[in-house]
């Protein structure tokens, strides 16, 4: 859960509840904010926030304000045709006219803990990718849990990937230069999609851009999170998100391929990756572990760790210097990967 509207909705729920909190709780939150990079401190972090059924209902009732589209970018809302094996999927397509006749492409999955969020939250980010990198970006409106647990959302993403590949000529895309990416749960879906595409062997994927990815349900089982997960996305929220997506509480009995990307044993033959995460993020340990396993399997993986950054800080305070550098690192990694693939 990282896009701006989902975050502000979740934080607003916590803020309303926090009005009645005792002063000592706020003081304790101030103390816990000590490791946070000063420019990433925000008053809303003083309120403990945990996602559950009630908070999710409130967030979903609120309208999702679309983000701004960068100047010079054409955006189109498309409904992909039904297939015998799949219902229709909606996507947003971002393109900057005047670029090269054939470009690379990015298939993007929004965040939201597998249970909330919408592509319109990422209009600004996706359109910036399009205009800054001269690429076509396709953002997927995948189905959400708990109403649609695994594998519904993942299969929606695969349908969009197949559409992007099959319509590469129409979109002005080089089919050998298609990258996939996302943030938080969207990055978890991207990691699972890379595995699924590799195994099916129908569509080549040249790169995976994983922004603080939600990769491992077993993080829920850890009794000690080493000071991570205090802000925005907490262990309790994580348990709710994974339980909703998997259809059962996290445990040692999840053997379905692609349900939990970090549970896959063989990571060889996956596309190169970039993983960016803050050291205060609940996903910090699982993300670094996945990066280490990718490298051990011979898969190039660049890692950018931001000290003092919590989960989704770039959506809360994206204009700060640290988060501007973080966003630039994402774009640089994608630019280099698509250039290398060409």
The pTM (predicted TM-score) of the whole model is 0.92
Q: How far apart are CA 157 and CA 144, in angstroms?
A: 12
Supply the pLDDT for residue 16: 53
CB neighbour list of residue 337: distance below 8 Å, 6 or more residues apart: 179, 206, 207, 209, 272, 274
CATH topology for 4-341 is Rossmann fold (3.40.50)
The label of the residue with tokens 């690192």 reads 329
State the catalytic residues. Answer: 184, 281, 311
Quote the strand ranges of 55-206, DSSP E.
74-79, 90-95, 103-109, 136-141, 173-183
Can you give the pLDDT at residue 18?
A: 47
Supply the pLDDT for residue 14.
55
pLDDT of res. 83: 65
Mean pLDDT by 10 residues, the chain (342 residues): 55 53 72 93 88 95 91 95 76 92 94 97 97 97 97 97 96 97 98 98 98 98 93 97 97 91 97 98 98 98 98 89 96 96 80
Q: Is 319 left (phi over 0), alpha (psi -120 to 50) or beta?
A: alpha
CB contact at 8 A, 142 and 157? yes
Instruction: Look at residue 102 in the predicted model and tell me its pLDDT.
Output: 86
In this predicted structure, what is the pLDDT of residue 64?
85
């Amino acid at each position: 859960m990282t896009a701006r509207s989902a975050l502000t909705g979740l934080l607003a729920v916590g803020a309303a509840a926090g009005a009645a909190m005792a002063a000592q709780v706020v003081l304790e939150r101030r103390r816990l904010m000590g490791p946070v990079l000063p420019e990433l401190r925000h008053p809303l972090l003083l309120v403990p926030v945990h996602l559950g059924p009630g908070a999710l209902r409130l967030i979903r009732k609120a309208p999702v304000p679309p983000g701004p589209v960068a100047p010079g970018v054409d955006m189109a809302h498309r409904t992909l045709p039904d297939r015998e094996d799949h219902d229709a999927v909606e996507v947003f397509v971002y393109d900057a006219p005047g670029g090269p006749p054939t470009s690379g492409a990015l298939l993007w999955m929004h965040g939201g803990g597998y249970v909330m969020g919408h592509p319109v939250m990422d209009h600004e980010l996706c359109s910036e990718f399009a205009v800054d990198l001269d690429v076509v970006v396709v953002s997927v409106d995948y189905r959400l849990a708990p109403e649609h647990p695994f594998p519904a959302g993942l299969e929606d993403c695969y349908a969009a990937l197949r559409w992007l590949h099959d319509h590469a000529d129409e979109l002005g895309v080089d089919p050998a230069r298609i990258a996939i990416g996302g943030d938080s749960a969207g990055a978890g879906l991207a990691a699972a999609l890379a595995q699924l595409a590799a195994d099916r062997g129908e569509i080549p994927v040249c790169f995976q851009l994983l922004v603080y990815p939600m990769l491992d349900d077993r993080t829920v089982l850890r009794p000690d999170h080493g000071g991570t997960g205090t802000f925005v996305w907490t262990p309790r929220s994580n348990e709710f998100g994974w339980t909703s997506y998997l259809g059962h509480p996290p445990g040692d009995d999840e053997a379905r391929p692609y349900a939990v990307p970090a549970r896959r044993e063989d990571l060889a033959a996956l596309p190169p990756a970039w993983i960016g995460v803050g050291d205060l993020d609940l996903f910090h340990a699982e993300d670094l572990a996945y990066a280490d396993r990718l490298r051990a399997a011979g898969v190039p993986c660049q890692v950018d760790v931001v000290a003092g950054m919590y989960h989704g800080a770039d959506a809360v305070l994206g204009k700060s210097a640290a988060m501007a550098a973080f966003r630039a690192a994402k774009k640089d990694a994608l630019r280099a990967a698509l250039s290398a693939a060409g």
